[in-house]
A = this chain, B = another copy of it.
Amino acid sequence: MTVKSNKGVILKAYPKGIPEVDKNFELTHRTIDIECLNLKENEFVLRNLYLSIDPYVRVTLHDPALNFMKHGKMISTGQVISGLGVSEIVKTNNPNYKVGDLVYGPIGWEEYSHIKSDDASVFSFMFVNKELLKDTPLSYHASFLRFGGLTSYTSLIDIGKPKEGETIYVSTAAGLTGQLVGQIAKIKGLRVVGSTGSDEKVDFLLNELKFDAAFNYKKVDLDKALSEYCPNGIDIYYDNVGGKTLEVALEHCNRFARVVACGMISQYNIETPEEGYGIKNLANIVVKSIVFQGFIALDYIGKDIEKEFEKDIIEWVKSGKIIYKETVIDGVENIAKAFVDMLNGKNIGKYVIKIADY
């Protein structure tokens, strides 16, 4: 039988605010006949194995009629949602890929993805590093050893420019990015302060990741907390949230501070510019000679720092200098719930969906 199940998750309705599983997503029970599928030039078919659950995906779900944030690949209602993951090539008409290759790139929230030629470049789909695979589970290659870890490492080193003895404040510190940034900053000799949204996560940051200080932002006045936990001011603010947190952090920044603009999760669920939080104290950037810089992980692909990342991260994980915490959840039918839970801050560590056995 060549016809296979190809369950997938489509966008049912553009979310307003934080999405809800039943309202905004729909599981579809489609099939795919791989043998009979006719591939055009450069096309290929993926059997998806592990999918990374990332906040950026929320930005791709905005109603185009309302959306003001431009993002590379927007999803329309009725379309399968896209995310980053690891897959096996099962059919190919592309000279760069052969059947059996393991690749990392933008895949569908589905069992099999038919990649059209526009998306089939070697820039979009990278090979899984086989050397690293000897020492690490395949799930790590869906995010931690790729854009997930690369995001933390490159931006902290290249934009944050950490120096021993400095203070770094990390928001959403218990997420994948925050965890890694904090731990790398510890290795570099900084005072590491993190905020997160539950007492359980505070414990995790303090007791497992050994942050110097951590607090539950829902329970404190941020201004007072930063005065208490960053008594020498902030030299690096690693910003995953934007909005009010950014505004308060700017007041605590020292001269020549670096603000790494990694994400603005507080602004991802808004639909119109008017709903956005207005930052009123950017004059701090002028009077304190602050660098406030955005980036995406893709900016660093192919640069020397990508190689340095692979070398360092493997050594740190092997030697136990860095703890990487992930939760692997089974099945396409659980993607939407994992995504919504992550946006609601329920995860400790990284959510990865296991779509199929390898």
Contact = CB atoms under 8 A, between A and B. Distances in A.
Interface of A: 59, 68-71, 242, 246, 261-264, 267, 273-274, 276-296, 299
A286 B273 contact: no
A53 B115 CA distance: 62
Contact of A69 (B264, B267, B287, B289): B287
A290 B287 contact: no
Given A293-B291, A293-B292, A280 B286 contact: no
A261 B286 contact: yes
A264 B287 CA distance: 10
A166 B153 CA distance: 30
6 contacts: A267-B283, A276-B280, A279-B279, A285-B293, A287-B296, A291-B291
A228 B163 CA distance: 44
Given A290-B294, A292-B293, A293-B290, A261 B285 contact: yes
A59 B284 CA distance: 12
B278 A289 contact: no
Contacts of A261: 282, 285-286
A212 to B, nearest CB: 26
Contact of A294 (B71, B273, B274, B285): B285
A70, A242, A289, A299 interface centre (most CB from chain B within 10 Å) = A289
Contact of A286 (B68, B262, B276, B289): B262
Contact of A292 (B242, B281, B292, B295): B292
Contact of A283 (B69, B290, B295): B69
Nearest to A286: B294
A70 B276 contact: no
Contacts of A289: 293-296, 299
A242, A262, A278, A288 interface centre (most CB from chain B within 10 Å) = A278
Given A277-B278, A279-B282, A287 B242 contact: no
Given A277-B278, A280-B276, A281-B68, A294 B299 contact: no
A282 B246 contact: yes
